[in-house]
Structure formats: structure tokens, C-alpha cells
Amino acid sequence: EAQVTQNPRYLITVTGKKLTVTCSQNMNHEYMSWYRQDPGLGLRQIYYSMNVEVTDKGDVPEGYKVSRKEKRNFPLILESPSPNQTSLYFCASSFSGGSSYEQYFGPGTRLTVT
Amino acid sequence: GDSVTQMEGPVTLSEEAFLTINCTYTATGYPSLFWYVQYPGEGLQLLLKATKADDKGSNKGFEATYRKETTSFHLEKGSVQVSDSAVYFCALTRGGGATNKLIFGTGTLLAVQP
């Protein structure tokens, strides 16, 4: 089954404790990205990757890091989480090279930073 | 910059009522337009899309027409069901862009009552 998986689904942590949210896709997609969803703001892009070892900032990258060492995986790293990073996070993937390609979303990770 | 504006919710309807969710956009070039749906506790799923002016996207009884003259992509369904209760997001990607980045509206919560 074609899918994007994220782990963990729920996470409660404390300020400053480094964490990683994993994302994996099984569709051989080149393009992967991370979004955060906040009430009244919709979804905003954090980082994206056009292919292995190619990453770039989205609209709200502050406080986040990513890496793309393998095509299927695109982890999101919070080196020193703060309460304003409490949010619902989604990973997405698609084929690249065309803006009309459907993006497939993971089920989301709800993060709470206290 | 590019942006998407959609009507605020929540929208509450009775089963079998007619649904319209308004969406307008601002973008340079020729964007592709999308409606994504988010069911409770799940990630986003593509509902329908349109890639050029006057295209009509349709799926599961939902329709939306790409109107370049009014920069709109309104979502409609003739007879809603309780199972349509979800959050609906209008989104665009910039035509010819290199990144596939989705720009989302803030989402509209639809609640259908039996």
C-alpha cells in the first residue's frame, strides 16, 4: 500500500530536549516536505527536499533541521524545542518536476512542548 | 506573494443540503489548484484538482471549477452526507515552479447533521 508514515503520532516533551520526528514513504518520490498546522493559519511549509542530499527552507524554518540521506526518509529535528513549536506536523511526498502532482500526506504528529 | 483565502467555518448543514465553500487565490503565473480534505484524526487527502483555466475537478460528488477571471476555485456538492464532515483546505502550487510547495488556505470545518 502506498503510504507516508510518521512516528511518533503523539509526543509531549519539555523545553530544550532534542527530538526527532521520522517520516518515511514507499512510493519512490523525489520530493518530500514538512508542514505545520496551526489553528487559523492553515498549513505552512517548514522545509522541503527535492531529492537525496538536497534540502531547502520553507516559510517557517526557524528552530528546525532536516536531513535527506536516503530517498525514502526525511526526518524533522528539533534541536531545542520551545513551546511555540507546539503544533500538528505533517510530512508529505510527491514526484517532482510538475506542480500538479498530488502530494501524499502522513497521518500527522501532534507535538506538545511544555 | 501567493495566497489562498477561503471562507471561515464552521459550516453546519443538514444531510442532503447543498454545499458551497468559497476559495479565492492570488498568484503569479498559472497555478494548479487543489482541494484537500482532512477527516478527524487523519492526514490530508487530495479531493480534487484543476491545472488550468476552466478545468473542472470532480471526485466523490464534489466539484470545483478553475475560474481565472475571478481567481476562484469554489467547492460544491449537491447533497452532503454525514460522512462528509471534515476540514476542507483549498491550496495552490505555482505553475512551472521548482518546488511543488503547496500554499494552503486556513481550512473550513464542515459539520453535517443527520
Per-residue pLDDT, B99: 66
Pairing of strands A10-13, A109-113: parallel
Regarding predicted confidence, which is higher, A51 or B77? B77
Position A101 confidence tier, pLDDT thresholds 50, 70, 90: confident
What residues are paired with A77 via a beta bridge?
A20, A65
Separation of alpha carbons B40 and B84, rounded Å: 11
CA B18 – CA B14 distance, rounded (Å)? 9
Residue B73 to residue B35: CA distance in whole angstroms: 9
Confidence (pLDDT) at A99: 66
Query: Which 3 state secondary structure label does DSSP give A39?
Result: coil
Burial zone of B9 (CB within 10 Å; 0-12 exposed, 13-18 middle, 19+ buried): middle
| B5 neighbourhood in chain A, CB within 8 Å | none
| String of DSSP letters for chain B | --EEEE--S-EEEETT--EEE-EEEE-SS--EEEEEEE-TTS-EEEEEEE-STT-EEEETTEEEE-BTTTTB--EEESS--GGG-EEEEEEEE-TT-SS---EE---EEEEEE-
Interface check for A83 against chain B (CB to CB < 8 A): the answer is no
Closest chain A residue by Cα to residue B89: A42
Closest chain A CA to residue B97: A99
Residue-level pLDDT at A40: 86
Residue B8 CB partners (closer than 8 Å, separation 6+): B106, B108
- The H or E element spanning position A57 is strand A54-57
pLDDT score for B1: 85
Amino acid A48: pLDDT: 93
Write the pLDDT tens digit of every residue in A70-98: 999 999 999 999 999 999 999 999 987 76
pLDDT band at A1, cuts 50/70/90?
A: confident
Contact B89/A50, CB-based, under 8 Å? no
What's the mean per-residue pLDDT of chain A? Answer: 94
Give the range among A99-103, B81-85, B104-108 with minimum mean pLDDT: A99-103
| Percent with pLDDT over 70 in chain A | 97
- For residues B49 and B59, what is the distance between their CA atoms, to the nearest angstrom? 9
Set of chain B residues whose Cβ sits within 8 Å of the Cβ of A46: none
Nearest to A102 among B4, B46, B95 (CB): B46
Residues 23-82 of A with CB under 8 A from B: 31, 33, 35, 40-45, 48, 50, 56, 58
What per-residue confidence (pLDDT) applies to B95? Answer: 55
Mean pLDDT of B100-106: 89
pLDDT tens, B29-88?
A: 788 999 999 998 888 999 999 999 999 999 999 999 999 999 999 999 999 999 999 999
Q: In the prediction, which pLDDT does A52 show? A: 92
CB B49, CB B32: distance < 8 Å: yes
Whether the predicted pLDDT of B96 surpasses 60: no
